[in-house]
Structure 1
Amino acid sequence: MAYSEPLKVTLAAEDGWPPFADEFGRGISHHLIQQAFKQVDVAVSTIVVPYTRGLVMTDRGSVNGVFNVTKEQSTLKRFVFGQEPLFTVNASFFFAKDHPSSVDDKWHLPIGSVVGIIDGYEYGDEFIQLIEKRQLRITKVNSQRQLINLLLVGRINTAIMYDMVADVYIDQMGVNKDISAKFNNHISEIFVAFSKKDPQAEQWSKLLDKGLQTLKQQGHYQQLLVPLD
């Protein structure tokens, strides 16, 4: 008897976004994607890299896809997405207690405020409009720790971070009393983005959708959103 080879998908996974994906290839995203693809008999292989490198690898077709990508105008042009998000996350403006904010929403940030962000991340379709309207000066760095340190020393007025991710780093750095979220930037649906160079991209996105739907029907989905450690 001839047995067909099981389907196998190779995904780039970012290395600095705990509790969803860390440098050790662990986290909520890893577990959720593995379990979703398992429902549709697809084995997952992951390559842990910096986020921007994962995007480039997917662009080039060196991997089938990359995970933890926001579906917005900029990414829709580059990648193939399914219909089912992995999960939804909130991103906020964080301030240092020593340099508090006197405003309560992003559209009233002081003109010319210096805002720290992670290079290569997506910050919602409104972000360009916000930069122009408030004449924001953007400082790009490569890690959450750098953002937090710049906030602490007053080199930036505020930083945009995803709440659950920021909580991990703020806790690790022991600065819970020094930095806090003040108001929302955007709510982001997070997906696996598949390569437009991959002729199977649509198939992978539909299989992942089906796997996620199955997990929800079985009642296992919510359990997989709980950090493992």
Structure 2
Amino acid sequence: MLRASLLSLWLAATTAAAAPPAAQAGASIEIMVEDAAVPWSGPDGSGYANDLVRAAFEAVHTNIKLTVVPYARCKAYVMQGAVPACFSMSPAPEQKGYVALSDQPLFEVYPRYYYNTDRSLPATSEQQIAPGTRIGIVNGYEYPASLAEVEKRGAVLDRANSEQANLRKLSAGRVDLALMMANQMKTDAAIVQQAQVNNVGVAFHATPMGSYIGFSTTHPQGEQARKLFNEGYRIISSNGRKNEIVRRWQLR
């Protein structure tokens, strides 16, 4: 009887030691999320990407806490190792050694250059953007590598805290172009409506990009959270849960 009791205690201790930290203590993994990317991620914690991330961790029985912050802070904190994860992120050179992206993107984004329709079209492609052209971008966002080439040729990157702010600056003539992110859920009409401007339109497109959840390579929970998410995302992609979320947001 004593031997059996000791064996039971040993098994219990071994199981607890092998369990993920979040599962052991019932604690949540903190994940930061952008506050100004409706419909992917909104200021109230709702969004298509938010629902995907929640569903993926639920599928592997892991509690998470989403902390809604400006994207620049989200990105800085995950790169500094202050939080385990941040979304939505796209690949960028500065992430190397600091951030490991999820195996699969949460969604694809299609960068679009907008112009002020009250003025002449400043260019019809990135190759035609002239030196001195002011381009509105969001502080901390990742953009196609081609934008760096545009900047090298003399374009001026004007940073704001949100895409809506950039469109308002474009409408007022304070920038010449604004680089926006769109897809089938975040349409051109929705982008313009959110900014509440009526004199902007699409000039041309840039190279599509994937948008991922990024995990800290230095935070103690970063690698564990990455593995859990990847497994959970695989599960919801195969059991229909991801498709349910896609349909629900496409109908909005």
* TM-score, normalization by structure 1: 0.89
Give the Å deviation of 1:152: 0.8
Number of the residue aligned with 2:90: 70
Give the Å deviation of 1:102: 5.4
Q: Which amino acid aligns with 2:152?
A: E
Give the Å deviation of 1:169: 4.2
CA distance in 2, matches of 1:102, 1:60: 39
Larger radius of gyration: 2
CA contact (8 A) 2:216 2:223 kept: no
Give the Å deviation of 1:210: 1.6
CA distance in 2, matches of 1:161, 1:167: 12
Q: Which amino acid aligns with 1:20?
A: W
CA distance in 2, matches of 1:97, 1:121: 25
Q: Which has the higher strand share?
A: 1
The answer to whether 1:101 aligns with 2:113 is: no
Q: Which amino acid aligns with 1:18?
A: V
Unaligned runs of 5+ in 1: none
Number of the residue aligned with 1:51: 71
The answer to whether 1:204 aligns with 2:231 is: no
Number of the residue aligned with 2:140: 120
CA distance in 1, matches of 2:46, 2:26: 24
The answer to whether 1:152 aligns with 2:171 is: yes
CA contact (8 A) 1:93 1:181 kept: yes
CA distance in 2, matches of 1:137, 1:50: 23
Give the Å deviation of 1:72: 2.6
Number of the residue aligned with 2:235: 214
SS of 1:42's partner is: coil
Number of the residue aligned with 2:162: 143
Q: Map Cα deviations across residues 86-137 of structure 1 (whole Å, 9 max, x no partner).
A: 111111101121124253211112332111111111112222122113x101
Q: Which amino acid aligns with 1:119?
A: N
CA contact (8 A) 1:67 1:192 kept: yes
Number of the residue aligned with 2:202: 181
Give the Å deviation of 1:146: 1.9
CA distance in 1, matches of 2:165, 2:50: 25
User: Does the C-alpha gap of structure 1 residues 107 and 118 become closer, same or farther in structure 2, counting only changes over 3 Å?
Assistant: same
CA distance in 2, matches of 1:102, 1:49: 34
* TM-score, normalization by structure 2: 0.81
The answer to whether 1:192 aligns with 2:210 is: no
CA distance in 2, matches of 1:108, 1:8: 49
Greater Cα offset, 90-99 or 5-14: 5-14
Give the Å deviation of 1:32: 0.6
C-alpha RMSD of matched pairs (Å)? 2.3
Number of the residue aligned with 2:5: none
Bigger RCO (CA 8 Å, 6+ sep)? 1
Q: Which amino acid aligns with 1:162?
A: M
SS of 1:186's partner is: coil
CA distance in 1, matches of 2:102, 2:70: 23
SS of 2:241's partner is: coil
Identity across matched positions, percent: 22
CA distance in 2, matches of 1:227, 1:68: 18
Unaligned runs of 5+ in 2: 1-7, 17-23
